[in-house]
Amino acid sequence: AAGVIQSPRHLIKEKRETATLKCYPIPRHDTVYWYQQGPGQDPQFLISFYEKMQSDKGSIPDRFSAQQFSDYHSELNMSSLELGDSALYFCASSLFTDTQYFGPGTRLTVL
């Protein structure tokens, strides 16, 4: 069965640089979620989109923005990167409010 695809899988950036993470949901899924998992921590909800509209917002810094495109893929844009942004970033998708299926994550390292 098709799964959630995230790219890139690993990303290394310098402080103050910009990063873009991409997420391709399971086909026919209309909702995308982004989570951030710091080292040794539980995933924290950042933001979600339903049918290309933002549906909920969590603890997402103002330096971050995201959107969902017409083909339902989503991108998380992160600017002015800080050392504390180093984490595993997960995308999950669902059909409306049904079960969320997670991608493999993007490991972001900020040097």
Partner 1 sequence: AQSVTQPDIHITVSEGASLELRCNYSYGATPYLFWYVQSPGQGLQLLLKYFSGDTLVQGIKGFEAEFKRSQSSFNLRKPSVHWSDAAEYFCAVGASTGTASKLTFGTGTRLQVTL
In the complex, the residues that contact partner 1 under the rule CB under 8 A are 31, 33, 35, 41-45, 48-51, 53, 55-56, 58, 88, 90, 92, 94, 96-97, 99-105, 107
Nearest 5°: the CA angle 100, 106, 45 is 45
Judge contact between 3 and 103, C-beta under 8 A: yes
Residue among 7 and 80 whose Cβ is closer to partner 1? 7
Q: How far is the CB of 104 from partner 1 (least distance, A)?
A: 4
Judge contact between 20 and 75, C-beta under 8 A: yes
Q: How far is the CB of 68 from partner 1 (least distance, A)?
A: 11
